[in-house]
Amino acid sequence: MRVLALLLCLWCLPGFVLAQSRTVLPEELELSVTVETTGHRPLAREMVILTIHGIYRRHITREALEQPDFAGFSWTQLGADTWREERIGGEKVKTMTRRMAIYPDGAGELTIGAFTHNLTLTDEQDEWFEHAVRSEPVTISVDPAPVSEAWWFPVRDLRISDQWSNAPDQLKRGEGVLRVIRVEAVGVTPEMLPPMPELRSPSGIVFPHPDKRLVELSPEGPISYAFWRWTIRPGNDTSTVVEPVTLEYFDTHTRQSHSIEISAQRIAYGDVTPPPVPVPGVEESSASSVRLPGWSMLLLGALVFAGGLASAVSGWRFQGVSALHRFALLDPLTRHLRQAARAGNTARTRRVAAQMLARDGPSNQRQSLLRALDKGLFARSTAPPDLVEFARRFVKARPQITTRG
């Protein structure tokens, strides 16, 4: 038995001495760089995953992995290095793994230089000495990015959410609403996210806030987040519309470009009843629009007054008096409605029409026209309404008149 133990020690001793000697064999220390295969050539600014893998059959006292300069690339490391003990071919070894995401700045044949792992080993006398192991350079072929005016945004996965601090169409008067668009993109760094879009509203007041960007590292690549924020409130006394927001991106899995549209949103006060009708001629008046009536208008006014006085004395109601509101020279609201329609001011056209409806009394035809206008303003698929035609038909529509027996 003692003889067998002695023979076993003599058989193991050369390997033990060799493992601790200053002579380092190539198979004892290995370092390689692997490019993740995707079945296609990457495009410029598209993420490429690198895996740096080391296999070590020597005792390591200290280590430091030195990267190449990555000329022609941007890069980020995907977490800390992973060290573990594994069995390869029945032999127990130490392994190191580092994952990195690199982004080619342009197209062509681009070479990634060698990685160098600087190691501190021990010899037969248990003394430390320095030794370096290097990987082979790696060359990748990169195609140019498509030519487009839009922001080049290649991602592996994209999620977008649109959130509001409260119901945007049920605001209290004078209140604003906070809108937050959250963008989550896999495979890009924060600076590669598109810039915050400009939120447009024809009659609303929009206050943009600075965008906030974060990043989270994962083995599949960096996950970047952007938070785009605006405070919005109607610029008038009723409501406004926030125009759609469009975001274009390139799916690196399907190799196709896509466009996402966040639909338009109506911003309104919960009580959309128009305010009390102002004194005719005072609302939104200006010195340039004031004109003194001529003698013809004075004569016409006198005739209308005389007719109204006669009908009041006799008790007879003249049904055509209400039609005088359709003449812009006699009715300031009619004049304002036509001016707003010709100017293409949707919000003012809607507001003046509501004021005319409140002043003249109920009218099924006018209410139908207002509903059609709202549908044209807020529906996604309909064409923009013809404001001039709306004003003409609204003025022409006759209010419902009730008579007393």
Q: What percent of the chain has pLDDT over 90?
A: 52
In the predicted structure, residue 16 carries a pLDDT above the cut 50: no
Identify whether residues 86 and 187 lie together within a single domain: no
Identify whether residues 47 and 136 lie together within a single domain: yes
Identify whether residues 264 and 327 lie together within a single domain: no
Instruction: Look at the chain and report how many structural domains it folds into.
Output: 3
Compute the radius of gyration of the chain from its Cα atoms. Answer: 39
What pLDDT is attached to residue 297? 56
Rounded mean pLDDT, 33-50? 95
Q: How confident is the model at residue 334 (pLDDT cuts 50, 70, 90)?
A: confident
Identify whether residues 342 and 368 lie together within a single domain: yes
Identify whether residues 21 and 137 lie together within a single domain: yes
Q: What is the Cα–Cα distance from 185 to 221, expressed in whole angstroms?
A: 10
User: 3-state class of 34 per DSSP?
Assistant: strand
What pLDDT is attached to residue 286? 35
What pLDDT is attached to residue 335? 84
Give domain status of residue 302, yes or no: no
Give domain status of residue 6, yes or no: no
Rounded mean pLDDT, 189-211? 94
Please indicate, yes or no, whether the overall pTM of this predicted structure exceeds 0.85: no
What pLDDT is attached to residue 379? 58
Q: How confident is the model at residue 19 (pLDDT cuts 50, 70, 90)?
A: low
CATH number (domain holding residue 159)? 2.60.40
Identify whether residues 21 and 131 lie together within a single domain: yes
Residue numbers of the domain that contains 383:
317-405
Tell me the average pLDDT of the chain.
82
Q: For the chain, what's the residue count?
A: 405
Identify whether residues 123 and 158 lie together within a single domain: no
Q: How confident is the model at residue 325 (pLDDT cuts 50, 70, 90)?
A: low
What pLDDT is attached to residue 384? 72
Give domain status of residue 312, yes or no: no
| Residue appearing with tokens 């490429």 | 48
* Contact (Cβ atoms closer than 8 angstroms) between residue 333 and residue 351: no
What pLDDT is attached to residue 328? 55
Q: What is the Cα–Cα distance from 72 to 140, expressed in whole angstroms?
A: 12
Identify whether residues 50 and 132 lie together within a single domain: yes
Identify whether residues 179 and 117 lie together within a single domain: no
Rounded mean pLDDT, 128-156? 94
Query: Comparing 1-10, 57-66, 99-108, 202-211, which segment has the lowest mean pLDDT?
Result: 1-10
Identify whether residues 327 and 402 lie together within a single domain: yes
Pick the more confident residue, 378 or 227.
227
What pLDDT is attached to residue 1? 47
Distances (CA, A) of 71 to 42, 74, 144: 17, 8, 17
Give domain status of residue 299, yes or no: no
Query: Comparing 37-46, 101-110, 150-159, 270-279, which segment has the lowest mean pLDDT?
Result: 270-279
Identify whether residues 123 and 22 lie together within a single domain: yes
Q: What percent of the chain has pLDDT over 70?
A: 77
Identify whether residues 132 and 158 lie together within a single domain: no
In the predicted structure, residue 293 carries a pLDDT above the cut 80: no
Give domain status of residue 122, yes or no: yes
